[in-house]
Amino acid sequence: MFNSLLLAACAVASFAEAQSTFRAIPTLSASVDAAPSLVPAILDPTAPNAQDVCPGYKASGVVQTSQGFTADLTLAGAPCNAYGNDIVDLTLAVEYQAKQRLSVKIFPKHLVASNYTNGSTTAATSDLKFNWTNTPSFQFQVSRVASGEVIFSTYGKVIVFEDQFLEMATSMVPNYNIYGLAENIHQFRLGNNLTRTFWAADSGNPIDGNLYGTHPMYLETRYNNGSASSSHGVYARNAHGQEWLLRSDNVTYRTIGGSYDLYFLSGPTPKEVIRQYQGGVVGLPQMQMYWTFGFHQCRWGYENWTVLQEIVDGYANAGIQLETIWTDIDYMDQYRDFTNGAMNFPVPAGQAFLAELYAAGQHYVPIVDSNIYAPNPTNGSDSYEPFQRGAALSAFIRNPDDGDFYYGDNWPGYSVWTDFLVPQGQQFWTEELVKWYGDIPYDGIWIDLSEASSFCVGSCGTGHLQENPVHPPFRLPGDFNNVDFNYPEAFNITNATEAASAVAASSSQVAANSATALPAATTTSSSATFMRTKPTPGVRNLDFPPYVINNLFEGHSLLKNTIAPNATHNDALNTTEYEMHNLFGHQIANATYHALLSVFPGRRPFVISRSNFAGSGNITGHWGGDNTSKWGSMYFSIAQALQFMMAGIPMFGVDTCGFAGNTDAELCNRWMQLSAFFPFYRNHNVFASIPQEAYRWSSVAAATRTVMNIRYSLLPYMYTLFYEAHTSAETVMRALAWEFPNDAQLLNVDNQFMLGPSLLITPVLEPLVTSVKGVFPGVADGVVWYDWYTLQPLQVAAGENKTLDAPLGHINVHVKGGSILPLQAPGNTTATSRNNPWSLLVALDNKGQAAGSLYLDDGVSLVQNATKNVQLSYANNKLTASVTGSYHSAPALANVTIAGVSALPAAMTLTVAGQPCETGVIQLVQGGGVLYVTGLETFTTAGAWEGDIEMQFS
């Protein structure tokens, strides 16, 4: 154990010294972030209840179509104008788009709805039925044709449609089970006392607050008294700020604009709902490059290229795999995109470092922030060419007050944001990334602050650019007296002396800072709390809409920490951020994806971005944002990951060991092992905290070596899972309730998960324990679970919450009986692993059978010249590998391990590519219920999968 308190102080002091020559001065006053304080409608006792005061609509003029019908909706009474101006005339469009998907759209009459039908589904062939009534006003229900089960019902409620407010409510069954509505930090099952707010926010990881992503889709599962469960999905395609009110007997959907564009998915299993959502509505996840499944290391606080080399060497010396090194904003010249600091990250030294890194088969990914620095027009030495080039293209979002660019604030100072609604925005972004790649040949791009984050209210740089560069209106990590002294729960028990020192140092820092505190932000009123604005006919108040959503920032204003809603794009419609806010993260990820197609023609782009929207999985992965080094944060990472498996962004992971605060050996030990089973596996933290690379503690290094070897051996399995996600919307990480949908005992389980259909992960999620409890579904139906390490079947009763040994450094992994896992011996990188011998792990079910699959390609290309699919099966004592496709994998098949074999076979025959083999050199060893078959490489020297394989035991 090193002295982490001392390390933290020294590291921060060192970094602050290195950065001091370009610290932005002066510091902005906190007043730039002042905004009126608002009361969210859900907390405002004087806010009108739209269900009580609004008249709803009457339907008429029904016109049948081949796949549904349309109707006119007319306001059924005097306008209520509850939180906007009522729209009198609407159109209803009901479409049976596919057998499992029903679309219901309600929109202003002058607009035209898109059509997404498959051309063949009708009301008579659909799984779902749409019923409606005009008594007392237009209401509708969606039900299942086969059973009559109602899955969505507005009966007894009115539909509200105003220019800045929509409301629709559906009745719910008692104790309903809803999942999804990502992104949130919450238990996986959302419960019935929660408000989900969607307004993309640079907010860290607050529990139940609005975060980075907007995915207005939920999955509901109903358990039917021991019979088969039924699941369905609801997706509300709307990007405006919105809220979902989950209450005891209803769910209310509210937005501050747009229209109703609802998709009902019939399931009836959870995985089928997810397939219908991704495959039929928002699109399938992108296929990732093979190397991206290796381990990634990053830190905000790597001071220069030399330090990066030390990190790379540290992992190599510790015998721990490291695939990719990342840099946070440290590498930039004064935090400006597409630049490298001449002092600490000069281009020539970077090129030399990267040449050596790439020669070792490793990779490099830098951060790119979402803002573009606006240079000081009165200081020629402050020139910044990316801004000049973007300005010449008119590629930036505008301030409607003066028609000039919108100037907010971020790390480098006053900044602008690219307008991705117009072609010149994509042109600018592509040209900058291509040009920068000529200096620093990166492998992928990490997009941050894409909510989009701004540290002031409004266009605060307008008229003030001559002050640039300016420091943000708060202390940065690494600034003087800004060391983080927070540690995980139980640190005071495991490290009592150090914990006491941290408390004392923290108190001293607080006292010192109180004497030099930055001025507090002030509002436009010294005492008043502003209520909602009043709707005005013909006018939309964009910055202060009449309905106040529960935005988590102080005062709840939509102006806080982001581009103002009235900021205007350059398209023909002068679209505003009011409409586009929740889409900015999707847009910049999309622009980055297409820019990387220009940087790497024909190669799959690798993008990890923070803010996201429904469908972002087509183009980007996502990490969980600014979490903390706390046990609770590690626990919530599982539910967060499962949300994104539903949302169609399977390339997901969190900042392992925590981003903010200081980790310790125990937490990092457990977390490094847990994250090894997440698709995106990265360790990352802030430089105001101690370093937390896996080799810093001997116990963490040992635990990481163990689990990393498991992960790297499983790379073919994980890659195959991604292929199945990319082609057929299978999930990668899976909730137990998805794999065993009829077991109501699993509806709340989010402390365990499955990786694909075959592996059950049971991590330790609390300190000071050496055992963990877990459930093992399906045992009552004969499912067998094998311990990964011993291959012994687990002795567990049906429904038992089994206690498992879990000493520090051990994570429980179990293989489901009936699985065949293709494995490769782990190397120090993904490339070396791909060149290592193949093996198969066969875990027999209670009938002596198993199955699995393997997908192979070059791991890089967007369009493949050759692929290979291997279907693996075991039945009647015969193992078969059926091979299709022409992709060549050179390594041989070395061995097969079969768990669940009670005796040594008397004989074995082997056929490879139709040719019988002399099996005298093959060794068969049986013990403890496991059969080990070795010596197979002799017969597969041309490559393991160059033809069908049959292995018969008798």
Instruction: List residues with catalytic annotation.
Output: 448, 451, 626
**Residues shown for the chain:** 954
Helical (H) or strand (E) element with 709: helix 698-713
Q: For 112-236, where are the alpha helices, taking DSSP H only?
A: none
Tokens of 692: 């937390």
CB 695 within 8 A of CB 657: no
d(CA 232, CA 576): 34
Which residues does 62 contact at the CB level (< 8 Å), separation at least 6? 69, 70, 71
Look-up of token digits 């949302």: 647
Radius of gyration of the chain (CA): 29
Per-residue buried b or exposed e for 146-173, using 16+ beta carbons within 10 Å of the residue's own CB: eeeebbbbbeebbbbbbbbbbbbbbbbe
Q: How far is CA 456 from CA 30, 284, 451, 453, in A?
A: 8, 37, 14, 9
From the CB of residue 221, how many other CB atoms can be counted at a distance below 10 Å? 25
d(CA 231, CA 663): 40
Helix, strand, coil tally for the chain in percent (to 5): 25, 30, 45
User: Could you tell me how many helices (H) and strands (E) the chain has, helices first?
Assistant: 17, 48
Secondary structure of residue 88 in the 3-state scheme: coil
Backbone φ, ψ for residue 510 (5° rounding) = -60, -40
CB 672 within 8 A of CB 703: yes
Helical (H) or strand (E) element with 633: helix 631-647
Secondary structure of residue 53 in the 3-state scheme: helix
d(CA 767, CA 758): 28
Backbone φ, ψ for residue 459 (5° rounding) = -80, 70
d(CA 96, CA 611): 32
CB 366 within 8 A of CB 331: yes
d(CA 632, CA 636): 6
Q: Which residues are paired to 129 by β-bridges?
A: 143
Helical (H) or strand (E) element with 61: strand 57-65
d(CA 312, CA 327): 12
- Give the β-pairing of 260-265 and 655-656: unpaired
CB 212 within 8 A of CB 562: no
CB 22 within 8 A of CB 468: no
Q: What is the DSSP string of 107-131?
A: EETTS-------SS--TTT-SEEEE
Q: Which residues are paired to 410 by β-bridges?
A: 413
Secondary structure of residue 1 in the 3-state scheme: coil
CB 473 within 8 A of CB 50: no
Q: For 550-583, where are the alpha helices, taking DSSP H only?
A: 577-580
Q: Which residues are paired to 823 by β-bridges?
A: 839
Half-sphere exposure of 771 (CA within 13 A, CB side): 6
Tokens of 364: 């490099």
Tokens of 339: 């630049």
What is Dmax (Cα atoms) for the chain?
90
Q: How far is CA 246 from CA 155, 170, 172, 645, 659, in A?
A: 17, 10, 10, 22, 31
